[in-house]
């Protein structure tokens, strides 16, 4: 995601850690944070609900009542008002700063859009739309990516009607995020296991070690089962084979990493736990219907 020339022209670098450039309109404020040196345990919170979206680099997020997780380019996070974030910047440096967008949106605006959706967009299951799950961490799809890119331009543009333009874009952004949240809830029902389920530990292990080599033999030993029995139980309870589940999780990570145009595909497939570039290409194309290189080029040209 690219920042406009006017942003670089008008912003002032006053701090090396979380230097903030802000633009405020009627229903939202856009903040771009830049960090130019490694730092740990940096605290940050907003008095309004916030969409945080990584533009460049890597953060490690520590949220209340949540496990720590990597926050990468192409990913977004929805936070409630007054949620305290604790952030590490393990890779930030002067020549390669970490950049993050934070869009604080008025709660009244969100409620108005939810009301509009309930009047015009019926859910398949008949239930009503409601406020999105907070601490919802997701990978931007193309639609959300394009809206965020457009908002970056609109907030920094000197145009007399930009409040009107931004308000319309915010409405579409909220609708798309709510729909993404709803699909995620529906999809993850398949993988929602009770804490006492014997596979819940295995699912957590896969997600925490997705960047490392993982074999079915290794997982079956951790589950105290034979390989054949582990495979059968896993597929019966989750609806997919262990290998397909692992590959899907790895491609989710790859999609985030490839949204950074400076990342080399060789580094991406290794960071996602694939040992072979050709196997990574095959799996990526099967799941995303395009090659990793074509996907990265498409995102860079949006």
Residue 185's pLDDT is what? 53
Label residue 28 by pLDDT band (50, 70, 90): very high
More confident of the two residues 192 and 275:
275
Which domains, ranges and CATH numbers included, belong to the chain? 5-188 (2.60.120.280), 200-301 (1.10.10.60)
Tokens of 59: 């953060």
Rounded to 5 degrees, φ, ψ at 53 are: -135, 125
**Residue 190 pLDDT exceeds 60:** no
Cβ-count burial 130-161 (b if 16+ within 10 Å, e if not): eebeeebbbbbeeebbbbbbbbbbbbbeeeee
Label residue 92 by pLDDT band (50, 70, 90): very high
Residue 301's pLDDT is what? 73
More confident of the two residues 124 and 164:
164
Rounded CA separation 84/96 (Å): 26
In the chain, % of residues over pLDDT 70? 90
Mean pLDDT of the chain: 86
Q: How does pLDDT run across 205-243, given as a tens digit for each residue?
A: 898 889 899 999 999 999 889 999 999 888 877 778 899
**Span 269-285, mean pLDDT?**
93
Per DSSP, 106 falls in state: -
Residue 186's pLDDT is what? 46
Q: How does pLDDT run across 140-165, given as a tens digit for each residue?
A: 887 888 899 999 999 998 899 999 99
Residue 283's pLDDT is what? 94
**Span 13-22, mean pLDDT?**
88
**Residue 198 pLDDT exceeds 80:** no
**Residue 98 pLDDT exceeds 90:** yes
**Span 185-198, mean pLDDT?**
53
**Residue 88 pLDDT exceeds 80:** yes
Cβ burial, residue 289 (10 Å; 0-12/13-18/19+): exposed
Q: Which of 189-203, 209-223, 277-291 has the lowest mean pLDDT?
A: 189-203
Strand order in the sheet with 50-56: 19-24, 28-35, 98-105, 50-56, 75-79, 136-139
């Amino acid at each position: 995601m690219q920042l406009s020339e006017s942003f670089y022209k008008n912003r002032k670098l006053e701090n090396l850690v979380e230097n903030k450039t802000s633009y405020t309109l009627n229903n939202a404020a856009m903040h771009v944070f830049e960090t130019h040196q490694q730092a740990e345990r940096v605290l940050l919170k907003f008095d309004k609900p916030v969409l945080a979206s990584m533009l460049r680099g890597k953060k490690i997020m520590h949220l209340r009542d949540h496990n720590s997780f990597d926050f990468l380019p192409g990913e977004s996070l929805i936070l409630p008002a007054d949620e305290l974030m604790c952030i590490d910047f393990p890779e930030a440096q002067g020549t390669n700063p970490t950049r993050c967008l934070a869009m604080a949106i008025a709660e009244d605006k969100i409620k108005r859009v939810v009301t509009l959706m309930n009047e015009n967009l019926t859910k398949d299951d008949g239930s009503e739309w409601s406020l999105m799950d907070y601490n919802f961490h997701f990978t931007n799809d193309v639609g959300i990516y394009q809206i965020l890119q457009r908002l970056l331009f609109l907030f920094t543009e000197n145009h007399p009607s930009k409040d009107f333009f931004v308000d319309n874009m915010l409405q579409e952004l909220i609708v798309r995020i709510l729909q993404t949240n709803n699909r995620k809830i529906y999809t993850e029902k398949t993988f929602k296991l009770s804490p006492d389920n014997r596979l819940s530990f295995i699912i957590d292990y896969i997600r925490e070690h997705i960047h490392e080599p993982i074999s079915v033999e290794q997982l079956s030993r951790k589950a105290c089962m034979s390989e054949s029995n582990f495979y059968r139980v896993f597929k019966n309870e989750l609806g997919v084979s262990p290998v397909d589940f692992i590959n899907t999780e790895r491609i989710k990570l790859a999609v985030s990493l490839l949204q950074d145009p400076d990342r080399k595909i060789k580094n991406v497939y290794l960071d996602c736990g694939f040992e072979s570039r050709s196997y990574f290409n095959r799996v990526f194309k099967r799941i995303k219907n395009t090659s990793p290189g074509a996907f990265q080029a498409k995102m860079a040209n949006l």
